[in-house]
Amino acid sequence: RTKDPSPVDFSTGSVGLGAVAPAFAALAHRYGKAHFDHVTSRRFVSLIGDAELDEGNVWEAVLEPSLGGLGNLLWIVDLNRQSLDRVVPGMKVKLLQAMFHDSGWQVLEAKYGRALQRVFAQPGGQLLRRRIDEMSNEEYQSLLSLPGAELRPKLVDVGGRDEIGLVELLQTTPDDKLPALFANLGGHDLPELIGVLEESEREPHKPTVLFAYTIKGWGLPLMGDPLNHSKLLTPEEIEALRAKLEIPQDDLWATFGPDTVQGRLCATAARRIYPANAAAPVTLSANIIPDELAIRTTGALSTQQAFGQTLMAISRKPELADRVVTASPDVATSTNLSGWILKSGVFGNAATAPRPDEEQPHLSWQYSPQGQHIELGISEMNLFMMLGMFGLSTDLCGQQLIPIGTVYDPFVCRGLDALIYGLYSGAKFIFAGTPSGVSLSPEGGAHQSTVTPSLGAELPNLNAYEPAFAQELSWIMAEALRQCCRADGRSTYLRLSTKLINQTLLEPALARIGRSALHEQVLAGGYRLVDWRDHAERNAAQPLVQIAASGAMIPEAVAAARLLQAQGINANVLNLTSARHLFESWRAADRPGRDPLSWLIPPDERGAPIVTIHDGASHALAWLGSVYGAPMVPLGVDGFGQSGARADLYRYFGIDAESIAGAGQRALAR
């Protein structure tokens, strides 16, 4: 989608993502039309290989209630019954069709072409239909390459003997015509296919799936070859195909002539689909986004709580709020979306009020076409696919949306394929992975994430932040919104926590650095939260340790610095709000005369050892020592989580204040 110079709506590729993407784009169409009346999109079509129906994410989408009633969604299943390795035995098409039907889809079929249908209508024609219907996939594919004289005896052979009715039925079909008749499937018969497609418009309130029976490699020398998935045409075969299609040898990409029937038809369709007077997409200027969002930044707060406050701050700015849509896979209340949902409502086809037995004192699920939250089932794959397609709504539907999603941080991995797909496609969205790490302690290993910081650092087209303080998140969230409004912007990943942090820990740095400079440094990736020179009993002759930490580990880092100061060791605390941005700055400065992290580590401190602490795998920050060649001790969570008190878990993994201070002492001793 992002690499082709001509307009491409959706990238395809493996694992069924290209099949599902138009479904969530159709949902963005419905949402955009309900909220802004005008959209530029019409129908969304997926051409799906039958083997893609093996992919679990396809069925996660089919079963998603939010996609119900999308009458402008059409899936065409290319049913050739061949996969990468083989002819697929027992394709269970009826079972697949029943699953779609039971999920509220209109199910259509283009199985046989008109030539075969005419033969079926003759006396005895049902014998031929039954023979082909009951034929195994393997047998059908093996007969496709036979000449008529060899095909006929095999076709009329039923149970080891000739079926007289079939013999008589096919007597009027000469050998040279029999292979074409046998291969006359609905997916290759254009008038038949058009008729079925027109039938799909009779049901305007259901998505449609059309099973089109085809033969892999149709019209080519490798047609029906069980190994044709990995075969290429030879140069001689390509030349024969060019001549057959009457493509000029000196203009292989020639279009149909403007005065031909085909050329006029294509020109008419192009004018209809891409009218010259088409309205420009409606977009939001980044200039309306404030530098920060007005939220509470005092007392004890978690970054997850602060995230919920930023959404409420957005809701108080109508021009911005109108473009924001939130989503979660059944975790809205536990990721602090309740306030936004209460104020903005839930998106649905018709206005509904909660039943008395569903009413909760903290949240009321009121659905309406004007709602701005989409509550998905428990499918992180659907969440990231929805965020990606809503994040492309400017291109796909002509109305810009800013999608914001929440997900338990460990399950970012569960939706990773769809997340990568959205980023690859150039989508812009915001998602919060929360809670994260082992800091959510009692929930055990299954909910404790350790590898997600690496995803945030390594995935292209993504900004990643792990703030500790509400003020940081206020600035970061505003920047994430601006990124969504910029043509060259990125998506944003916020790794958050439910751990309460005393916001007064930020005050000395705010006073020392200044509000404007601190704002800039937070977005750049980090700042000196604790500077040893601010210590009342500072002594430049004492050894120095740099303690670098992110997010929830900041209080432990500050406590460790105090322990070291009490032992006669100077200690800075570097608050790394975005390890990714710091790494990118280091890479970008890999030229003579450039100093990548000068505001964090001045020249006279670059020999001091560094201890990094992360509520995640220790390697995520271990690169920091390489910037200036300093000794390095990385601490983090390098095993599966445990269930227990937070202090016990920190001690178990060696990321408590005492362990951090001990690591600093060991680093100095090296």
Q: How many CA atoms lie within 13 A of 661 on its CB side?
A: 19
Do 305 and 422 belong to one domain? yes
Between 201 and 519, name the one with better pLDDT.
519
Q: What gap in Å lies between CA 137 and CA 152, rounded to an integer?
A: 18
- Give, for 667, the enclosing helix (H) or strand (E): helix 657-669
Q: Examine residue 509 and state whether it is found in any structural domain, yes or no.
A: no
Whose tokens are 């008589």? That residue is: 168
Q: Examine residue 514 and state whether it is found in any structural domain, yes or no.
A: no
600, pLDDT greater than 70: yes
Do 268 and 328 belong to one domain? no
577, pLDDT greater than 80: yes
Amino acid at 5: P
Do 562 and 479 belong to one domain? no
| Per-chain mean pLDDT for the chain | 92
158 bridge partner residues: 161
Q: What gap in Å lies between CA 348 and CA 373, rounded to an integer?
A: 9
Residue 317 CA to chain centroid, in angstroms?
28
Q: Examine residue 222 and state whether it is found in any structural domain, yes or no.
A: no
The candidate with the shortest Cα–Cα distance to 615, out of 646, 655, 657, 575, is 655
Do 86 and 35 belong to one domain? yes
Q: What is the mean pLDDT of residues 85-100?
A: 76
Q: Examine residue 362 and state whether it is found in any structural domain, yes or no.
A: yes
Do 549 and 641 belong to one domain? yes
Q: Examine residue 146 and state whether it is found in any structural domain, yes or no.
A: yes
Q: Examine residue 517 and state whether it is found in any structural domain, yes or no.
A: no
Confirm if 609 and 572 have CB atoms less than 8 A apart: no
Q: Examine residue 51 and state whether it is found in any structural domain, yes or no.
A: yes
354, pLDDT greater than 70: no
Number of domains the chain contains? 5
Do 198 and 62 belong to one domain? yes
Residue 15 has what pLDDT? Answer: 79
Between 505 and 14, name the one with better pLDDT.
505
Residue 361 has what pLDDT? Answer: 53
Segment 128-137, tens digit of pLDDT = 999 999 888 8
- Residue 65 CB partners (closer than 8 Å, separation 6+): 377
pLDDT band at 84; cut points 50, 70, 90: very low
CA dist 143 to 80, 177, 226, 641, 655, Å?
14, 14, 11, 57, 67
Do 445 and 461 belong to one domain? yes
85, pLDDT greater than 60: no
Residue 570 CA to chain centroid, in angstroms?
45
Distance, first Cα to last Cα, the chain: 51
Do 585 and 613 belong to one domain? yes
Residue 293 has what pLDDT? Answer: 97
pLDDT band at 89; cut points 50, 70, 90: low
Cβ-count burial of 90 within 10 angstroms (0-12 exposed, 13-18 middle, 19+ buried)? exposed
Residue 527 has what pLDDT? Answer: 98
Between 447 and 395, name the one with better pLDDT.
395
Q: What gap in Å lies between CA 495 and CA 489, rounded to an integer?
A: 19
Q: What is the mean pLDDT of residues 149-177?
A: 94
* Residue count (the chain): 670
Residue 4 has what pLDDT? Answer: 75
Q: What gap in Å lies between CA 120 and CA 124, rounded to an integer?
A: 7
Do 563 and 600 belong to one domain? yes
526, pLDDT greater than 50: yes
Residue 229 CA to chain centroid, in angstroms?
27
**Domain with 596 in it:** 526-669
Q: Examine residue 343 and state whether it is found in any structural domain, yes or no.
A: yes
Confirm if 649 and 641 have CB atoms less than 8 A apart: yes
CA dist 475 to 131, 297, 383, 523, Å?
69, 12, 25, 8
pLDDT band at 415; cut points 50, 70, 90: very high
pLDDT band at 356; cut points 50, 70, 90: low
Segment 208-265, tens digit of pLDDT = 999 999 998 898 888 877 776 778 899 999 999 999 998 999 999 999 999 999 999 9
Segment 276-332, tens digit of pLDDT = 888 899 999 999 999 999 999 999 999 999 999 999 999 999 999 999 999 999 999
- The answer, as to whether pTM is greater than 0.85, is yes
Do 211 and 298 belong to one domain? no
555, pLDDT greater than 80: yes
Segment 234-248, tens digit of pLDDT = 999 999 999 999 899
End-of-domain residue from the set 182, 203, 225: 182
Least confident among 316-330, 530-544, 570-584, 630-644: 530-544
Segment 10-30, tens digit of pLDDT = 888 767 899 999 999 999 999
Whose tokens are 């005369």? That residue is: 593
Confirm if 616 and 437 have CB atoms less than 8 A apart: yes
Q: What is the mean pLDDT of residues 87-115?
A: 89
Segment 615-644, tens digit of pLDDT = 999 999 999 999 999 999 999 999 987 888
Q: What is the mean pLDDT of residues 496-525?
A: 98
pLDDT band at 357; cut points 50, 70, 90: low
Q: What is the mean pLDDT of residues 537-548?
A: 91
Residue 353 has what pLDDT? Answer: 56
CB atoms within 10 A of CB 132: 18
Do 272 and 356 belong to one domain? no
Burial 283-301 (b: 16+ CB within 10 A, else e): ebeeeebeebbebebeeeb
Helices (H) and strands (E) in the chain, counts: 26, 21
pLDDT more than 90, % of the chain: 79
Cβ-count burial of 355 within 10 angstroms (0-12 exposed, 13-18 middle, 19+ buried)? exposed
pLDDT more than 70, % of the chain: 96
Do 4 and 27 belong to one domain? yes
Between 655 and 229, name the one with better pLDDT.
655
CATH number of the structural domain spanning residue 358: 3.40.50.970
The candidate with the shortest Cα–Cα distance to 402, out of 11, 114, 109, 28, is 28
